[in-house]
Amino acid sequence: MSTTDLLADLETIGRTPGGGYTRLAWDPATMALREWFAGQAAALGLEVTEDGNGNQIAWWGTGPDALLVGSHLDSVPEGGPLDGPLGVASALAAVAGLKASGWTPSRPLGVVNFTDEEGGRFGIACLGSRLATGAIDPAIALALRDDSGTTLAEVMQAQGRDPRAAGPSAWLADVSSYVELHVEQGRWLAPHDAPVGVASAIWPHGRYRFDFCGEGNHAGATAMADRHDPMLAYAATVLAARDLATATDQRATLGRVRVEPGSTNSIPSRVTAWLDARAFDHVALTTMVAGIRARAEAAAASDGTTVGFTAESESDAVTFDPALRHRLAALLDAPVLATGAGHDAGILAARVPTAMLFVRNPTGVSHAPQESAEPEDIEAGTVALSKVIEELA
């Protein structure tokens, strides 16, 4: 059982005509992936459990002081094939290889598939790990709605889960460390000629909603001077995000927008847009977001429209456990790099010693169909994860 073979099993699940993958929490694709995970784990003789949040863990042994490895199987809309699945598949392949060699762990080992890491359906990233660690109030999470207006609680119930079981997970008390392997998001390892790297930190980041409100009207009958068009303030906000992020070498993206009523021949009455912002420290993030918000408010005021602002989720900077990070970097003779992308590992790091491994991405493209890694680098990542498991478990 190789990682590439396991990834090949998943090639058709959630595949879109454009060649990407759309696997949103609790949708048919992720439900099929959950069944696949349970089947693969059972074939390895692992005991599969699921907590009240939908997180699946396949256990090799039970009890305290467990090592947890894995990632997630969901995706962003039209995402790539490796973000998440590479970590799950490599963990299963590592366990298969270790079992075949006759090796057994001296402490429990769990392979995890976290639910809704990307936040593509309900808007908050790492929802499964946030619920498991108590980083989000279950009542708030269960009330989140997808684009159709359905709450998380309703979706879980429709899939045969009891929403009342959502919240902090008992298994966390037995976990003493977590290691997540992930495809590199960005292109740092290729210029450094390294197939595998070890993460040092995650930049602080947040998701913010802007609600631009104006006056709907006829596109042909309303003079330009008489309009109160919220799309103009939205456009100014997009440009402000680019300008402020570029000036400070940070990240700001408005990648999702909803226009109402959404008619070609109507002036919008409302534009809702979501900002993803990331920076090298919390002060820089706060300053940049405040600047973008100020520019949005100024643009709205000049057009006779209004804008509301909501911070939907924020994550502080994460520094991965220094002792564990240095231990793995020395074990693997691997370089250390920071990342601007969020991960379940960043959520667990607040509760247990946590580390991340990255597999080289030759183009740096992620969250898109072109996301890739060479087969030999995927194998190098699996070998590295196997060494980590042997070292820690």
SS (H, E, C) 332-373: HCCCEEEECCCCHHHHHCCCCCEEEEEECCCCCCCCCCCCCC
Mean residue pLDDT of the chain comes to 96
What confidence score (pLDDT) does residue 195 get?
97
What pLDDT, in 10s, does the model give residues 95-153? Answer: 999 999 999 999 999 999 999 999 999 989 999 999 999 999 999 999 999 999 999 99
> Does the pLDDT at position 299 exceed 90?
yes
pLDDT band at residue 315 using 50, 70 and 90 as cut-offs: confident
Hey, what are 211's tokens?
A: 């609600």
Whether the pLDDT of residue 342 is over 90: the answer is: no
Residue with tokens 């909501």: 310
Burial of 256 by CB count in 10 Å (0-12 exposed, 13-18 middle, 19+ buried)?
middle
Kind of pairing between the strands at 318-319 and 196-202: antiparallel
**How confident is residue 341, by pLDDT bands cut at 50, 70 and 90?**
confident
Helix (H) / strand (E) element for 179: namely: strand 175-183
pLDDT of residue 259: 98
In 3-state terms, what secondary structure has residue 254?
A: strand
Type and span of the H or E element at 258: strand 251-260
> What does the pLDDT read at residue 339?
87
Q: Which residue has the tokens 């949040």?
A: 53
> Exposed, middle or buried: residue 91 (CB in 10 Å: 0-12, 13-18, 19+)?
buried
Strand partners, 58: 48, 111
Q: Give the whole-number percent of the chain exceeding pLDDT 70.
A: 100
pLDDT of residue 313: 87
Report yes or no: 74 and 23 within 8 Å, Cβ to Cβ. yes
Q: Which of 24, 119, 115, 26 is nearest to 312 (CA)?
A: 119
For 197-209, give the DSSP string: EEEEEE--EEEEE
In the block, residue with structure tokens 């680019």: 242
Residue 265 sits at the vertex; the CA angle it makes with 261 and 266, to the nearest 5 degrees, is 40
Q: Could you tell me the pLDDT band of residue 383, with boundaries at 50, 70 and 90? A: very high
What is this structure's pTM?
0.86
Q: How confident is the model at residue 286 (pLDDT cuts 50, 70, 90)?
A: very high
Both tokens of 364, joined, read 């740096």
Q: Which pLDDT belongs to residue 1?
A: 81
Q: What is the DSSP string of 111-148?
A: EEEES-SS-TTTS-TTHHHHHHHTSS-HHHHHT-B-TT
Kind of pairing between the strands at 66-72 and 56-60 = unpaired
Using CA atoms, how far apart are residues 138 and 165, in angstroms rounded to an integer? 9
Q: How many CB atoms lie within 10 A of CB 76?
A: 22
- DSSP result, 18-75: TS-B---TTSHHHHHHHHHHHHHHHHTTPEEEE-TTS-EEEEES-SSSEEEEEEE---
pLDDT digits (tens, 9 = 90+) for 75-92: 999 999 999 999 999 999
pLDDT, tens digit (0-9, with 9 covering 90-100), for 31-90: 999 999 999 999 999 999 999 999 999 999 999 999 999 999 999 999 999 999 999 999
Average pLDDT, integer, range 145-162: 97
Please tell me the predicted confidence (pLDDT) of residue 316.
86
Task: Kindly list the domain boundaries of the chain, sorted by start residue.
Answer: 3-203+317-392, 205-315
Which pLDDT belongs to residue 387? Answer: 98
Q: Distance between CA atoms of 133 and 38, rounded to whole angstroms? A: 23
| Span 205-315 CATH architecture | 2-Layer Sandwich (3.30)
Question: Given its phi and psi angles, is residue 160 left (phi above 0), alpha (psi -120 to 50 degrees) or beta?
Answer: left
* Distance separating alpha carbons of residues 92 and 389, to the nearest angstrom: 12
The CATH superfamily of 3-203+317-392 is Zn peptidases (3.40.630.10)
